[in-house]
Amino acid sequence: MKGAILIMGFIDTLKERAKANVKTIVLPETEDKRTLAATEKILKEGIAKVILVGNEEAVKKSAAEDGYDISGAQIVDPATSEKTQGYIDKLVELRQKKGMTPDQAKEILLNQYLYYGVMMVKMGDADGMVSGACHSTADTLRPCLQILKTKPGTKLVSAFFLMVVPNCEYGANGAFVFADSGLNQNPTSEELAAIAASSAESFELLVQEKPIVAILSHSTKGSAKHADVDKVVEATKIAKEQNSELALDGEFQLDAAIVPSVGASKAPGSEVAGKANVLVFPDLDAGNIGYKLVQRLAKAEAYGPVTQGIAKPVNDLSRGCSADDIVGVVAITAVQCQADDNK
């Protein structure tokens, strides 16, 4: 039970932080019952204000079929909303260099609710968006990159999982950020360095502990020779030069990064070895496999993929997510929105 208490305690902390300054989150996937179940929980707990995108009658009917109380949510129908024309005009303005016409913009916004949700965030009618329960990561992030674009000063949009491992003495009492575990297939050294910096910032925001960043490899401090190792060595060099204030090091095998005795043996003198709580994987294969191994074999909670580097908080969901997972990601998104207020 101790592990369960740790996990629930961690997410409960995020929920409490979300409640302290309530944000408005748009959930566009109203065709999915999990969205409606999550909406009831979010409203009941007071984690966020919720906007649902869709035909009001159809959404209410779908919720009633399963007994979900979504009465506190705002339902916005693109076909009837007085704001839709303004969204059309803005989308044309943003995409005119790509040949976007008013008719095309109208077609997109009336039929692709993810685009509509992103436009709500762009225009300030919502603070953030959560989607992906029934859409691919590419479908969720495409409108974000087209409309919201990257955060100023950020070189790359990436995705991480917030992992909370029960009964774990490693990381921050079992809490880790794993990146990139959802988006960038084979990042360059420069991109790995950018992922490391963004992930450290995300860890500090969400876990409220000092980030200790390890860039991972199958080699520790030159124990193996390969072009893949060279990439990680170079990434570590770039990340250190660009973020001298961070506790960051590499290249590390996983055990050298998180197990104190192994870190001391394989990388003596490193301030990161054996203490890491932010794990930067060399490519998407490693990051994606790694988080799923920990989730399934260690019974960890895996929240994400959480995006970082977009101008406004928009987060993807795993298509295998539960309603409770959606609630957790909405809490994370709300906390990210609060951080944007403070910048």
What is the secondary structure of 98-111 as a DSSP string? Answer: GT--HHHHHHHHHH
Q: Are residues 119 and 163 in the same domain?
A: no
Give the largest Cα separation in the chain, rounded: 65
Distance CA 148, CA 170 (A): 36
Distance CA 208, CA 85 (A): 41
Kindly report the CATH number assigned to the domain that includes residue 337. 3.40.50.10950
Q: Mean pLDDT of all residues in the chain?
A: 92
- The model's pLDDT over 282-298, given as tens digits with 9 standing for 90+, comes to 999 999 999 999 999 99
Q: Are residues 289 and 315 in the same domain?
A: no
- Domain membership of residue 188 as a residue range: 158-297
Q: Are residues 183 and 133 in the same domain?
A: no
Distance (Å) of CA 20 to CA 177, 203, 326: 24, 20, 19
Q: Is 248 helix (H, G, I), strand (E, B) or coil?
A: strand
pLDDT value, residue 49? 98
14, part of any domain:
no
Nearest to 249 by CA among 261, 263, 228: 263
pLDDT value, residue 216? 95
In the chain, the number of structural domains is 2
Instruction: Give yes or no for a cis peptide into 103 (omega within 30° of 0).
Output: no
Quickly state the pLDDT bin for 343 (edges 50, 70, 90): low
Strands 278-280 and 175-179: parallel
Q: Are residues 26 and 75 in the same domain?
A: yes
- Residue bearing the bigger pLDDT, 11 or 16: 16
The residue-averaged pLDDT of 205-227 equals: 93
141 pLDDT more than 90: no
3, part of any domain:
no
- The model's pLDDT over 82-118, given as tens digits with 9 standing for 90+, comes to 999 999 999 999 998 888 899 999 999 999 999 999 9
The residue-averaged pLDDT of 168-190 equals: 93
pLDDT value, residue 304? 79
Distance CA 327, CA 322 (A): 9
- Sign for the CA dihedral angle at 317, 319, 325, 326 comes to positive
Q: Are residues 141 and 164 in the same domain?
A: no
Question: Cα 46 to the chain's mean position, in Å?
Answer: 21
Q: Are residues 119 and 183 in the same domain?
A: no
Residue 61, Cβ neighbours under 10 Å: how many? 10
Please report, to the nearest 10 degrees, the dihedral formed by the alpha carbons of residues 254, 257, 262, 265 taken in order. Answer: 120
Q: Is 135 helix (H, G, I), strand (E, B) or coil?
A: coil
pLDDT value, residue 319? 84
User: In sequence order, what are the beta bridge partners of 314?
Assistant: 129
Quickly state the pLDDT bin for 66 (edges 50, 70, 90): very high
What is the secondary structure of 160-213 as a DSSP string? Answer: EEEEE-TT--STBTTEEEEESSSS-SS--HHHHHHHHHHHHHHHHHHH-S--EE
Residues 221, 237 contacting (CB under 8 angstroms): no
Kindly report the CATH number assigned to the domain that includes residue 275. 3.40.50.10750
Q: Are residues 144 and 248 in the same domain?
A: no
Q: Are residues 130 and 172 in the same domain?
A: no
pLDDT value, residue 96? 84
1 pLDDT more than 60: no
pLDDT value, residue 76? 97
Quickly state the pLDDT bin for 305 (edges 50, 70, 90): confident
9, part of any domain:
no
6, part of any domain:
no
pLDDT value, residue 7? 46
Distance CA 315, CA 166 (A): 24
- Give burial (CB, 10 Å; 0-12/13-18/19+) of 156: buried
pLDDT value, residue 45? 97
Instruction: Give yes or no for a cis peptide into 251 (omega within 30° of 0).
Output: yes
The residue-averaged pLDDT of 20-45 equals: 96
Q: Are residues 174 and 65 in the same domain?
A: no
- The model's pLDDT over 242-273, given as tens digits with 9 standing for 90+, comes to 999 999 998 899 999 999 999 999 999 999 99
Helix or strand holding residue 41 (H, E): helix 33-45
